[in-house]
Amino acid sequence: MALQPVNRRSVPDEVFDQVLAEVVEGGLGPGEALPSERRLAEVLGVSRPAVREALQRMAQTRLVEVRHGGATTVRDFQRSAGLDLLPRLLVRRGSLDLAVARSVLEARLAVGPAVAALAARRGGPALAAQLTETLDALAATDDDVDRQQHALTFWDQIVDAADSLVFRLMFNSLRAAYEPALSALAPLMAAEVGQIGAYRMLAAALGESDPDTARAAAERVLRPATESLLAALRQAEEEQR
């Protein structure tokens, strides 16, 4: 394992991130036993309680299985972990994971129109009025980061109207992964968050309780920027090879 002494700024987080990287990058495979707490503490240069806390977090996110009196073994995170792990996977060791970013964008494009259609069935005029207020604020700023924030609020309101716990939890995880990169994504997202007319068309369809038009309008809002970003990510992935 390529573990390194830990920066004590946030010890359990640093331990978590290093062991997570080993799991995700294949340094530790499914079924493999982790070194003992004592050995990890020695290698990382931290206390055993810090290691224990990090391992407990990993168990909670279903990355490892902790057996009392036995070894802590690695689980296949792609089959056991949940969306709560997504923000940790998107940015690791200060770098954006391009494959994870691609997955986030693909999920966003697939889920957004479905959420909009459901919200159209359950929202109505009150939702349209709420969305119009948010879009007025979006239209009133020229700052691309502020526009992204207003766009996130817009989608947050749509998810609320859809009244689906599963979609809400998915949105929360996607947002938690996306928000730390707002500034970096601002130039790439400018075209999407600047198309006020498309957003207003979606708001109108939601207000009219028209799920088919809402689905199509959401696709129109999301697809152009998503395809541009996916193309940029594919090029970046090729350059890394």
Final residue before a domain boundary, out of 30, 57, 81: 81
d(CA 226, CA 228): 5
Same domain, residue pair 114 and 207: yes
User: What is the pLDDT at residue 98?
Assistant: 82
Same domain, residue pair 104 and 170: yes
Same domain, residue pair 101 and 77: no
Same domain, residue pair 44 and 103: no
Q: What's the average pLDDT block by block, 10 residues per block, for the chain (241 residues)? A: 56 86 86 90 90 90 82 90 84 77 88 96 90 96 92 96 94 84 80 90 94 96 87 80 72
The total number of structural domains that make up the chain: 2
Same domain, residue pair 27 and 145: no
User: Does residue 46 lie within any of the structural domains?
Assistant: yes
User: What is the pLDDT at residue 8?
Assistant: 47
Same domain, residue pair 193 and 77: no
**Amino acid present at 62:** R
Task: Please give the torsion angle defined by the CA atoms of residues 187, 189, 192 and 193, in that order, rounded to the nearest 10 degrees.
Answer: -80
**In terms of residue numbers, what domain contains 190?**
97-240
Q: What is the CATH number of the domain that holds 181?
A: 1.20.120.530
Model confidence, pTM: 0.79
User: Does residue 75 lie within any of the structural domains?
Assistant: yes
Give the 3-state secondary structure of the chain. CCCCCCCHHHHHHHHHHHHHHHHHCCCCCCCCECCCHHHHHHHHCCCHHHHHHHHHHHHHCCCEEECCCCCEEECCHHHHCCHHHHHHHHEECCEECHHHHHHHHHHHHHHHHHHHHHHHHHCCHHHHHHHHHHHHHHHCCCCHHHHHHHHHHHHHHHHHHHCCHHHHHHHHHHHHHHHHHHHHHHHHHHHHHCCHHHHHHHHHHHHCCCHHHHHHHHHHHHHHHHHHHHHHHHHHHHHHC
Same domain, residue pair 137 and 62: no
d(CA 18, CA 12): 10
Cβ burial, residue 40 (10 Å; 0-12/13-18/19+):
buried
Same domain, residue pair 215 and 111: yes
Q: What is the CATH number of the domain that holds 62?
A: 1.10.10.10
224's CB contacts (< 8 A; 6+ apart) are 191, 192, 195
Same domain, residue pair 163 and 103: yes
Same domain, residue pair 156 and 42: no
Final residue before a domain boundary, out of 24, 49, 81: 81
User: Does residue 223 lie within any of the structural domains?
Assistant: yes
User: Does residue 1 lie within any of the structural domains?
Assistant: no
Final residue before a domain boundary, out of 81, 105, 139: 81
User: Does residue 164 lie within any of the structural domains?
Assistant: yes
User: What is the pLDDT at residue 119?
Assistant: 97
Same domain, residue pair 140 and 207: yes
Same domain, residue pair 65 and 116: no
User: Does residue 88 lie within any of the structural domains?
Assistant: no
